[in-house]
Amino acid sequence: MSVTGNLNQIKSLLPDNVKLVVVTKTHPTEIIMEAYKAGQRHFGENKVQELTNKALQLPADIKWHMIGHLQTNKVKHVIPFVSLIQGVDSYRLLQVINKEAEKCRLVVDCLLQIHIATESTKFGFTVTELTDLLNNENIFALTHVRICGLMGMASFSDDYNQVRSEFKVLKKLFDWLKDNQFKDQFHFNILSMGMSGDYNIAIEEGSTLIRIGSAIFGER
């Protein structure tokens, strides 16, 4: 099926409370424009240079999501273009985003990435690291970042029970934070989980934002 066909099919089956980020990494601007013309506005990239290049060439009303691992020395390049930084995986990175956002007089929306998969190659805070951070640092003193929720990637696995149990861990942590540390933070309402291979399970487990690439554009 075409990009537009795939996109419309996925969108037609999404519950109202679940938003879609179309992941465009490796794909040229002409193909991205097909999704744009079909009404899509939220796109995700995992490399700073690719995101900024595409942002400069494509329509200005696109909301760009940085979904990959972000190095602190690249933060300043991405800040002017990014709408949501999904992969915040250290306090140091959060501090740098805050500092660079302040220079640009912006408040940048971020998600904390949580390591839920079995693969050690994936990034993110462990649950313990996150609770330690929240106990030891006043992240709410960083006034140029706004933490809007959590992001996680499940194991790359055919074992759907495994994948489901990882999403459950993330959802439970999200709900707990929402009721405790983030109780008065009304913008803390995004749970980004689910990709092409597992988004149906993620939605069943409470995802509010899915990140889909290959199910729309084909294999990279």
Cα 78 to Cα 99: distance, rounded to the nearest angstrom: 13
Query: Residue from 7, 18, 20, 23 that binds ligand PLP (CB under 6 A)?
Result: 23
With a CB cutoff of 8 Å and minimum separation 6, the contacts of 26 are 220
Please identify the residue of the shown chain whose CB is closest to the bound ligand PLP.
213
The residues in 28-47 that bind ligand PLP, with binding defined as CB under 6 A, are 46
The residues in 128-167 that bind ligand PLP, with binding defined as CB under 6 A, are 153
For residues 32 and 134, which CB has a smaller minimum distance to ligand PLP in the complex? 32
Count of CB atoms situated within 10 Å of the CB of 201: 19
Size, binding site for ligand PLP by CB under 6 A: 14
Least distance between ligand PLP and beta carbon 138 (Å): 28
With a CB cutoff of 8 Å and minimum separation 6, the contacts of 138 are none
SS3 164: helix
Q: b/e map of 43-73 (b: 16 or more CB within 10 Å)? A: bbbbbbeebbebbeebeeebebbbbbebeee
Query: Residue from 48, 67, 70, 139 that binds ligand PLP (CB under 6 A)?
Result: 67
Query: Residue from 64, 65, 68, 117 that binds ligand PLP (CB under 6 A)?
Result: 68
Binding mask 193-212 for ligand PLP (x = CB under 6 A): --xxx-------------xx
Least distance between ligand PLP and beta carbon 68 (Å): 6
Interaction between residue 124 and ligand PLP (CB under 6 A): no
DSSP label at residue 125: B
For β-strands 42-45 and 19-23, DSSP reports them as: parallel
Binding site for ligand PLP (CB under 6 A): 23, 25, 46, 67-68, 153, 195-197, 211-215
